[in-house]
Amino acid sequence: MAAADAMRHAKAQYAFASAARFGELVLELWPLVPDAAVAARVERLDLLLVLGSVLRNAGDGERALAVANVALAEVDPATVDPRLHARLLRNKALYLVNLGRLGAIRYCNRRWRSPRSTSMTRPFTPSCSISSPAAA
């Protein structure tokens, strides 16, 4: 899919607004293209992860947050790579912080169920360090 290649190229050139437009075009075309993941050379959740980052870097935090919400709604914790799920949660937390909204800590402390064991939950240790004003 040429739009996916254009998004990657624009992102590599730090043209985040253009990359965002191409990324959103890929999302629009996704249901229309047979084997879209193969054509775009990217899985849908990975595309959403990159698109959210590109939107944030383009200065559109609201749309970045909306994309993070879409990605998290599509996640099946039983089958998704836990590292990808953790990155999506971290990004949502960072987008909330960037927008000055409450709720980021909830996403940094969220637990995920290990697909290898249904009885064990492990805490998500965020790579984002959101400190309280008192700690700063």
pLDDT per residue as tens digits for the range 19-76: 999 999 999 999 999 999 999 999 999 999 999 999 999 999 999 999 999 999 999 8
| CB-based contact 119:87 (threshold 8 Å) | no
What the chain holds in terms of domains, given with CATH numbers, is 2-123 (1.25.40)
Parallel/antiparallel/unpaired status of strands 121-123 and 111-113? antiparallel
Q: What is the pLDDT of residues 81-128, one digit of tens each?
A: 888 888 998 899 889 888 888 776 776 666 544 444 444 444 444 455
Distance from first CA to last CA of the chain, Å, rounded?
46
Give the percent of the chain with pLDDT over 70: 76
CB-based contacts of 118-126 (< 8 A; 24+ apart in sequence): 124/86, 124/89, 126/86, 126/89, 126/90, 126/93
For the whole model, what pTM was predicted?
A: 0.75
Maximum CA extent, the chain: 52
